[in-house]
A and B are shown apart, each in its own frame.
Chain A
Amino acid sequence: MVYLDVRDLQHAYGSHRVLDNISFTIAKGERLCLLGPSGCGKTTTLQVLAGFVAPDGGSVSLNGKRIDDTPPERRNIGIMFQSYALFPHMSVFENVAFGLRMRRMAKNEIRRRVSEALELVRLPHAGGKTPSQLSGGEQQRIAFARAVVIRPSLLLLDEPFSNLDARLRLEMRQELLALLRSLDIATLMVTHDQEEAMAIADRIAVMNRGRIEQIGTTTEIYDEPVSLFVGRFVGESNILHGHHVASDGATACAEVEGIGRLWIRASARRPEPSAATQIMVRPERIRLSGEAVGTADQGWNSVEGVLEQVLFLGHRTEWTVRCGDHRLMVWQGLSPDFTAKQGDKVILSWRISDTVAVPEERAQ
């Protein structure tokens, strides 16, 4: 069931288009993440939903009602700001109580709901402190409590982890996910970090230059990127430039200079023969060995190359292999049983189902 319906948002700052036909929906209880580099329009989209920016065109409906002309204070949307935006001159209690006071709730009810919210974020005794007395992680939890205590119709998370150090970030990611699951609120998160997006969201919308490039489940985005941009932005990819030679029902075939023929997983798109194409393979899907793992009939692509570099990083080993004009990354998680020295000839094998073709990037 569509709960939040965003349609054809258009916005420009001067001659600079920041939003170009942004449309998406969120179902009740669903978590959608807008993922993209800075300047892609994801923050502007968030501001439009919050009511701080009036878009040049398009519409936003929440629970079946248009909210385009509703001022921010009457939208009942909870926001967790990137800087948390806790009121520094108020205690933690007053911060969390602010939204309830604005709703003119009875004092007892406010007290009950605030202590419930502080309980939820596991800081039940922080009420008397000021925000500056809290650690970064605690501030984030208070910001979350303040945003959800009003029981919002929609929750907006703006780069929720960008102000935390790396270790705390992993911890808070799990904690926030657990909280969101327990509350079951429709949530829109905005981030430039693909790992955060994949960890928190049910679906991801990848944005670039004010457009949504692709919207889909986390696995769809990762395994079936529709554009070079998506493939590059979400995770690492090896990209081979080639052109199509043939395509039949199940698979297609492309010629890559210096490497030879590669089989490509079937997709809905039917490129013209000899059309230029990009072939993408994730580095962790490639196997290194002395001889080919399987033939094309068995579902494998094999390429010969020369080992250029080996990096042992503990949790994985990164190999760099030169194949013709291309340089391919290969990541292996377990300590490899295969060993090779720099300059050795190696065979790279990967499944045809892991081989994705994306059309040549449009000239911008």
Chain B
Amino acid sequence: MKAFSRTRSRRAWPILLLLPLLFILVLYVAPVLNLVSISFSEHSLKEGVIPGFSVGNYARLMHDSFYFEVLWRTIRLSLLTTLCCAFFGYPIAFYLTRTSGWRQTIMFIVLLMPLVTSVTVMSYGWLILLGRKGVVNTLLVKLGFFEMPRQLMYNETVIVVGLVHILVVFMVIAVAASLQSINPALARAARSLGASPFTAFRQITLPLSMPGLRTGALLVFVLSMSAYATPTVLGGTRVKFLSYLVYQQAISLNNWPRGAAMAVILLIATTAILALASAYGQFRAQRRQSASETATSTMAPERAGD
């Protein structure tokens, strides 16, 4: 009887998987495949998309230095955003796990505010702050730091500031979850064994919170690589992100194949950087393990016979 129900439940699990699988196929795999296929078709102003197979879009992009400049800026600023989010997010997360009650609640509300507010509204908020007649300029002129208002908007720095503002919450939540799962007795054990608070943090808490830092970095990086509204509003007409170029091709110029090819390259670049990062992480972990193994094998050479 029991064996029967077990075989039946074993047969049942693919059916359970079917629904989510279908969901992913229809809503994710199909559009991406469609995007890839469009990127290989040609385009003319009169006829629009011409079905077929050609690598023309990619070939033209390879010679487009402007496109690569924007791609490189997107990657560079996304990495910088990720770094800043880690730098600012980690201490916030650390504080968050060590506080409770209303302080924690207020922290969370402040952190989540940017997510609840529309990105466009928020970006215009930056405009009010940093514009030529904005609060910061007025203040700096009055205090005598600037002789006259300067352009603080429409540069790379302000894009990173804006992105960090929105995305830091993902880092904070990921790191806080990871910190919360660390047994507080571990840091105390390290202290009792002679580690200063800083050493205990560096050798125990930090390495154990790495998974959270990795998850947070992944989220922030992916989200900022594909960010559209924030870099568009804060970067203005001169400093563009790749998502804006894709939008321009697909919507303004109606050149879907070229836009698709740009999007595919963005997808590949993002995936490649993530793969590189994870490979490096695994390489480090392996080297650490082999290092500790040699340490113990020199200690107990008879271990092999055990």
Contacts and interface: CB of A to CB of B under 8 A. Distances in A.
A complexed with B: yes
A81 B194 contact: no
B188 A50 contact: yes
A288 B188 CA distance: 53
Contact of B188 (A81, A124, A150): A81
Interface residues of B, number: 27
A73 B201 CA distance: 13
Nearest to A104: B194
A87 B189 contact: yes
By secondary structure, the A interface counts as loop
Contacts of A98: 190, 193, 195, 203
Interface stretch (A23-31, A88-96, A259-267, A309-317): A88-96
Contacts of A75: 192
A127 B193 contact: no
Interface in A88-132: 88-91, 93-94, 98-99, 102-103, 111, 114-115, 124-125, 127-128
Interface string B188-220: 111111111001000110011000000000000
A90 B298 CA distance: 17
Contacts of A111: 298-299
B293 A72 contact: no
Interface in B7-40: none
Most buried by A among B190, B204, B299: B299
Contacts of A77: 192
B199 A102 contact: yes
A150 B194 CA distance: 9
Contact of B185 (A51, A85, A125): A85
Interface in B243-283: none
A78 interface: yes
A52 B306 CA distance: 41
Given A89-B207, A146-B193, A128 B188 contact: no
A32 to B, nearest CB: 19
A81 B185 CA distance: 7
A258 to B, nearest CB: 52
B105 interface: no
Contacts of A147: 192
A89 B292 CA distance: 11
Contacts of A72: 188, 191-192
A50 B188 CA distance: 9
B113 interface: no
A71 B203 CA distance: 18
Interface in A43-86: 50-52, 71-79, 81-83, 85
A99 B292 contact: no
B195 A102 contact: yes
Given A79-B189, A125-B303, A127-B300, A102 B295 contact: no
Interface in B141-191: 183, 185-186, 188-191
Given A74-B194, A90-B292, 9 more contacts: A77-B192, A79-B188, A85-B186, A93-B299, A99-B193, A102-B199, A128-B303, A146-B189, A150-B193
- Top 8 nearest A-B pairs by Cβ distance? A102-B194, A99-B193, A85-B185, A85-B189, A128-B296, A72-B191, A127-B296, A79-B192
